[in-house]
Amino acid sequence: MTEDGGCAWIFGDDINTDQLAPGLYLKRPIEEISRHCLETVDPNFAAGAALGDIIVAGRNFGLGSSREQAAEVLRHLGIRAVIAESFGGIFYRNALNFGLYAMACPDARSIKAGDRISTDPEKGTIHNLTRGETYASTPLPSELLKIVQAGGLLPFLEKMTRREP
């Protein structure tokens, strides 16, 4: 759970992977791809996103191609979680694999731009600290929580292989 909360960035329905990680920049380093994240939807997002901020969106967040950079750029920009009414399936798994909480919440539209949000993915709760409201989301299964808490799938696997039998 994020105690201080992150600032909510609000996006609508059908945010696709090309908007998150534009194809024109995919062969460039993640730092450069990140500078163009969501620029066609909110030109100020990449420069304004801060460590711990949270994206809140409508239906089908992350639909489109399987490009893993779509989740990676959000982590690179410091985004802690994405809260959406629903997710594109491949993006959802890529988000978790990159250590980014992805929380499905039917009440996502109740959150407004700039609201301070804290999350508890284990319990499936989202706290709007600005409005004093709590929303339910689908709790993440414990095995997926372990992956995200480790910082993503690769750090999780590295940690697992270092363990003694």
pLDDT value at residue 1: 47
Q: The tokens 């893993």 sit on which residue?
A: 68
Q: Is residue 1 part of a domain?
A: no
**pLDDT tens digits for 85-116?**
999 999 999 999 999 999 999 999 999 999 99
The Cα-based distances of 96 to 8, 39, 43, 99, 115 in angstroms read: 19, 23, 26, 5, 24
Domain that holds residue 79: 6-162
Q: Is residue 107 part of a domain?
A: yes
Reference 106, options 79, 130, 126, 120; nearest CA is: 126
Residue 3's pLDDT band, with cuts at 50, 70 and 90, is low
Whole-structure pTM value: 0.93
Q: Is residue 70 part of a domain?
A: yes
Q: The tokens 């201080």 sit on which residue?
A: 4
Q: For the chain, how many structural domains are there in total? A: 1
Q: Is the pLDDT of residue 165 over 80?
A: no
Q: Is residue 142 part of a domain?
A: yes
**pLDDT tens digits for 10-61?**
999 999 999 999 999 999 999 999 999 999 999 999 999 999 999 999 999 9
For residue 122, what is the domain's CATH number?
A: 3.20.19.10
Mean pLDDT of the chain: 94
